[in-house]
């Protein structure tokens, strides 16, 4: 049995991680400011505390006796970060530094940081490796890249094991549908289930690496105890590039209906292609994504059917 703290642990990924760890009979503490999280997602065995990741005194209390911290607390909406870069810097960078300071003082041995494939930006490679030069295209991506540097530099200076996972487009049951700039998978599913227009930005040929939440959780848990991963950056994705048009078609296939996307050009569809090379994840974490896109969408659609009553 180990003791873990998850920052941002009431969010989509954080809650899935917390619940999985509790099922393995670990002691799990969660810190979340509830700006995007929902404590109702958490197993009753999870010890939940509402608070800000920059609140160092509160962190000191929560870190006592903790073996590893999963740092997932962040603001994550790319389009919002363009409007509010200062706020994104304060939370994603400043909050990370505050956490690392508290981790140092509490003597925690390892931090697993959830970064993002967004730090790569536009790349010329079919699958991007961790040694590719980052090319962030938004304040959100810049904030995650800056936080990565802080994690590894401060970890080295203060003797803290650090592991950085660059997570690509995670999806699955429980992913919230924001009113403004919602994630593409729940947005397409909800529109398809309710008969709304399937809005696709750009021509829909831009490709993304969609990875099911359970696969991401397994990578996070493995990174907490894996040997020989200190200071490493590791991609976590499916390793499969899927165009937005193909995503829409797959949702339609699962639902048994033909979906016609409505293409709009008022907003950029983002980088043309972003797909993870998983060689390092396979070698260092024994990571192999188990849930195909079609199966993952089937599970997610079933969740949304229950939510919407359709």
Question: Which single residue is written with the structure tokens 């950056």?
Answer: 233
Is 140 part of the annotated catalytic residue set?
Answer: yes
Q: What is the 3-state secondary structure (H, E, C) of 247-304?
A: HHHHHHHHHCCCCCEEEECCCCCCCCECCECCHHHHHHHCCCCCCCHHHHHHHHHHHH
| 170 contacts 17 by C-beta, under 8 angstroms | no
Q: Which of 4, 88, 140, 212 is the catalytic position?
A: 140
| 70 contacts 114 by C-beta, under 8 angstroms | yes
Which CA distances in Å does 271 have to 117, 201, 237?
11, 12, 17
| 115 contacts 167 by C-beta, under 8 angstroms | yes
Q: Name every residue whose Cβ is closer than 8 Å to that of residue 131 and which is 6 or more positions away in sequence.
A: none
Helices (H), the chain: 12-23, 56-63, 78-83, 85-88, 95-106, 139-158, 184-194, 213-223, 244-255, 279-285, 293-308
Q: What share of the chain is helix, strand, coil (3-state, %, to 5)?
A: 45, 20, 40
**Considering only CA atoms, which of 274, 77, 80 is closest in space to residue 166?**
274
Round to whole Å and give the CA distance between 186 and 296: 12
Per the structure block, which two tokens stand in for 185?
């998978």
Which residues form the catalytic set? 140
């Amino acid at each position: 049995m180990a003791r873990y703290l998850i920052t941002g642990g009431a969010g989509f990924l954080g809650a899935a991680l917390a619940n999985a760890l509790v099922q393995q009979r670990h002691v799990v503490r969660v810190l979340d400011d509830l700006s995007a999280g929902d404590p109702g997602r958490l197993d009753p065995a999870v010890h939940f505390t509402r608070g800000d990741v920059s609140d160092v005194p509160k962190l000191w209390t929560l870190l006592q006796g903790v073996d590893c911290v999963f740092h997932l607390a962040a603001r994550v909406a790319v389009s919002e970060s363009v409007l509010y870069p200062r706020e994104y810097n304060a939370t994603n960078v400043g909050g990370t530094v505050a956490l690392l300071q508290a981790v140092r003082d509490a003597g925690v041995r390892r931090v697993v940081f959830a970064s993002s494939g967004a730090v790569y930006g536009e790349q010329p490679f079919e699958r991007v490796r961790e040694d590719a030069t980052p090319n962030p295209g938004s304040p959100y991506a810049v904030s995650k890249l800056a936080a990565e540097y802080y994690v590894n530099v401060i970890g080295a200076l203060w003797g803290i094991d650090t592991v950085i996972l660059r997570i690509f487009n995670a999806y699955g049951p429980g992913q919230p549908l924001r009113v403004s700039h919602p994630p593409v998978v729940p947005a397409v599913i909800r529109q398809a289930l309710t008969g709304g227009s399937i809005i696709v930005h750009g021509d829909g040929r831009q490709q993304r690496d969609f990875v099911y939440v359970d696969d991401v959780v397994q990578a996070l848990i493995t990174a907490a105890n894996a040997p020989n991963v200190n200071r490493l950056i590791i991609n976590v994705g499916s390793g499969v590039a899927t165009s937005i048009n193909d995503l829409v078609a797959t949702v339609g296939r699962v639902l048994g209906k033909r979906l016609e996307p409505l293409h709009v050009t008022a907003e950029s569809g983002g980088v043309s292609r972003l797909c993870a090379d998983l060689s390092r994840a396979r070698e260092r974490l024994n990571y192999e994504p188990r849930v195909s896109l079609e199966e993952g969408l089937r599970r997610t659609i079933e969740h949304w059917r229950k939510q919407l009553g359709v």
